[in-house]
Structure 1
Amino acid sequence: MRRGFFVECPLARLSFDFGQFGLLAAREDPGVTAELDQHAAAVRDSIERDGTRLTRSSLTHYLHGFVDGCRERGWDSDGVDYDWETLRLLAICRLAKEYGFIR
């Protein structure tokens, strides 16, 4: 099995648990798709700002930091709408899939 495809990978768990419904729904809404593109670009820029490459490890590290920040602020998605945090998580899922870090 290729690296990044095992079930213990946080990116795979996020994609499986959270990303599937959002990415499918976003394809139907051009506005959400555009927002996801912007979030994905922001994540990529944030990771690459200091010369770090976008890898499974760097994206996982970003994910952990982002989720920790969400927890510290007490964020909880109501699942009704795409808030900023939900869009950022979906963008992380998209990047992980686009770069082949998950299936």
Structure 2
Amino acid sequence: MFEHLKEGATCPELFFSNSEYQEKNMECLDENKTAHCLIDDQNNHGFVCENILKIPKGKCPFFDNKKERMAIRQCQGKNCPSEEINSTAAVKFDGCYEEYRHDEL
């Protein structure tokens, strides 16, 4: 389940507050899943427990509300992954949190 962040909070900002990430990881009931802070297909930021995925260069993970799971799409903006990353590392790339128009999904 995708848990929205508080109004105005963003994933890249929370990345620097490791305590919240650790707390969310403890809430993941499946030991094989890890907390991810992602943007969803409605441009909301939030946490979800998912398996770690390999994300190709120039792509980003996001939460697909229709499929109720993490998916991968093209990175937007200037700071995008220049090599393959783990899905949990997306918070280091501002381009992964740019707002998307719905026709770009």
Tell me, yes or no, whether TM beats 0.5. no
Normalized per residue, the structure richer in strand is 2
TM-score range, shorter chain: under 0.3
TM-score normalised to the size of structure 2? 0.28
**Structure with more relative contact order (C-alpha pairs < 8 Å, separation 6 or more):** 1
Normalized per residue, the structure richer in helix is 1
